[in-house]
Amino acid sequence: MDDSQLRNLSPLDGRYHDKTKVTREIFSELGLIKARVKVEALWLSYFLNNFRPKLLNEEISSLLTNLASNIPDELALRVKEIEQTTNHDVKAVEIAIAEQLSGQSSIQSLVHIFLTSEDVNSASHALMLKDGNEALIALLESLLIDIKDLAANTADIAMLARTHGQPASPTSLGKELNVFATRIEKELQTLKNQKMYAKWGGATANYNPHVLAYPDEDWVKHSQDFMAGMELELTTVSTQIEPHDYMAEVFQNVVRVNNVLLDFAQDVWSYIAFDYFKLKVVKDEVGSSTMPHKVNPIDFENAEGNLGLSSALLNHLANKLTQSRLQRDLSDSTALRNIGSAYGYLEIALSSLKKGVAKLEPNNIKIKADLEDRYEILAEALQSFLRLEGNSDAYNAIKDLSRGASMNKEVYEKAVNELVADAKHKEILLKLKPETYVGLASILAKEGKK
């Protein structure tokens, strides 16, 4: 690291630079410029093919194809250089593309034909979000595999459950982990079905110059066809800007993902605090500057902080971007540039969670010890059988024996023998132990695992 990195204002570009590589490629200024060049090049190609085919030749077609699919960093740098003069980012892209068509004046004049900046911007942000969504799905699926594997491997580890933080009917460690896997899977399916939208049609999206120049063309259909070529949807009716409702939907979906991951991080942190999980020791790591014995759950804590930052930004974007005065104002522009930050914090969190999950080892001795002789947690089973026998006061009878008190095996067996009338019920309950009262937990721990 050189000293210039020590002056980075955002940890995304400083401390966490190496942990935001995926997001940086998509949402950085370089990513935005490349998306704009792609949109401009694709539109020019579409326009020439449909309206000026005589101007096309193999050289021009090849150039536009390369601009749309293999944009060199040098061209992006040229765009930034031009922007120093134009003070307009999209105009700089237009000029840079025209420079690539040197000597082709009839085609140079058609760069950016019938477009307003927001046509290019809306399609560019949609393409970036599409790529960002796909990258997020890949990262989530990788973490999901790890959680499902851990859940399956701990499916048969009976564990004391805690509701309101207090001892409750037993479960299995794997089943509780699989709760998060199934929640993530549900949100993943929604993410996979998200559609990205862009507007088209010029300054106020009415196709004003288009219709004037080519009155017999179906411009909405042309726009739909053009968007389909980029795997985007057309927002047919809009102001100068795409209204960003789809972005709000995507961001709120990601916030729900963040909330599930946050819940997971906090629960695993608690299991580590209970000593239900041991953490694999990384030789050169330091847990405390003064307590050498410590192995801290820092990966889950790091994830928690970064998930919160991601959600804070996404919630703001979802609320802000769907509001714009009249046909447009510019307040969305600066906000849109922070989409990458929201995804960057999430990328860091996912990296931390994956690293943290890999360190987890179930502490079978501690988990078993917490269940031993905790017969009060069988109160649910006992009162349920009393209800089956027609005892209308079953709940209160067991409540008097167990509420707020510890119940050992002797007290439990005495209650069964005194309160349960049916011999078969009595036999079932006397054989029951806290570690065997887990219902379908072991099966549910593997639910959804292929």
Is residue 30 over pLDDT 70? Answer: yes
Question: In three state form, how does the secondary structure of 31-76 look?
Answer: HHHHHHHHHHHHHHHHHHHHHCHHHCCHHHHHHHHHHHHCCCHHHH
> Regarding the domain delimited by 19-115, which CATH topology (the fold level of the hierarchy) does it fall under?
Fumarase C; Chain B, domain 1 (1.10.275)
- Domain 118-364: homologous superfamily in CATH: Fumarase/aspartase (Central domain) (1.20.200.10)
* Mean pLDDT of all residues in 228-249: 96
Has 244 been annotated as catalytic?
no
Structure-derived torsion over alpha carbons of residues 261, 264, 268, 273, reported in degrees to the nearest 10: 100
User: Model pTM?
Assistant: 0.91
Mean pLDDT of 251-276: 97
pLDDT (tens digit per residue) in 100-137: 998 889 999 999 999 999 999 999 999 999 999 999 99
pLDDT tens digits, one per residue of 179-222: 999 999 999 999 999 999 999 999 999 999 999 999 999 999 99
Per DSSP, the three-state class of 171 is strand
Q: What pLDDT was estimated at residue 411?
A: 86
pLDDT, residue 404, reads 66
pLDDT at 331: 87
C-alpha radius of gyration, the chain, whole number = 30
Predicted local distance difference test score (pLDDT) of residue 8: 82
pLDDT of residue 1: 52
Region 404-417: mean pLDDT is 84
What share of the chain in percent tops pLDDT 70? 94
Domain 372-444, classified CATH 3.40.50.300, yes or no:
no
Give the span between the Cα atoms of 133 and 139, in whole angstroms: 10
Q: Which of 69, 106, 109, 288 is catalytic?
A: 288
- Any idea where the domains of the chain sit in the sequence? 19-115, 118-364, 372-444
> Which of 164, 289, 293, 392 is labelled catalytic?
164
Point out which residues pair with 167 in neighbouring strands: 162
* pLDDT score of 344 more than 50: yes
Q: Rounded mean pLDDT of 367-387?
A: 92
Q: What is the mean pLDDT of residues 374-382?
A: 91
H or E segment and range at residue 411: helix 409-419
Average per-residue pLDDT for the chain = 92
Q: Is the pLDDT of residue 14 over 50?
A: yes
- Whether 402 is a known active-site residue: answer no
End-to-end CA distance of the chain: 43
Residue type, 53: P
| Cβ-based neighbours of 238, under 8 Å, separated by 6 or more | 199, 201, 205
The predicted pLDDT at position 405 comes to 64
Mean pLDDT of 82-88: 95
Indicate if the pLDDT at residue 424 is higher than 50.
yes
Residue 417, pLDDT > 80, answer: yes
Q: What is the pLDDT of residue 292?
A: 43
DSSP 8-state code for residue 282: P
pLDDT > 70? residue 288? no
Residue 294 has pLDDT above 60, yes or no: no
